[in-house]
Structure 1
Amino acid sequence: MNIQELKNHFQLIKKYEAQEVNELLDFVKKCYIYNEITTCDYRNLVYELEILGAKTPELESSM
């Protein structure tokens, strides 16, 4: 799966186009958790999305 296929799958499932790469990153993670994509696809897509500027929110320490 490549980025364009991911965008198409996102639009098919969500019924709208992703506005940010972070939306696609969240979607990739969900797809991976539910075994909808392979580990190899997951790694490649996360890598490509990070190149495009996607970032995982950092958790704040609750100390």
Structure 2
Amino acid sequence: MSIHELRLMFLQLREYITDDVNELLDFSKKAYIYDQISLYDYRGLVRDLEDLGAVLPEIHY
């Protein structure tokens, strides 16, 4: 799955478009958890989105 395809999936489910790589990273994680994309696609998307500057949020306990 490409980032373009992820954006289209995002648009269909959220009904707005985003170019925010962090928001797309969160969306891809949820899509993987809910079995909407495969592990193979998820890993590729994470790599591509991180290359574009996406970062996971810091967890504060």
Q: TM-score scaled by structure 2?
A: 0.93
Q: Show structure 1 runs of 5+ residues with no match.
A: none
Computing the radius of gyration over CA atoms, which structure comes out larger, 1 or 2?
1
Cα distance, 1:59 vs. partner? 1.4
- Alpha-carbon distance between aligned partners in 2 of 1:18 and 1:32, rounded to the nearest angstrom: 19
Q: How much has 1:35 moved relative to structure 2?
A: 0.5
Aligned counterparts of 1:50 and 1:30: Cα–Cα separation in 2: 16
Aligned-CA RMSD value: 0.9
2:35 alignment partner, SS class: coil
Post-superposition, which runs of at least 4 consecutive aligned residues in structure 1 deviate over 6 A? none
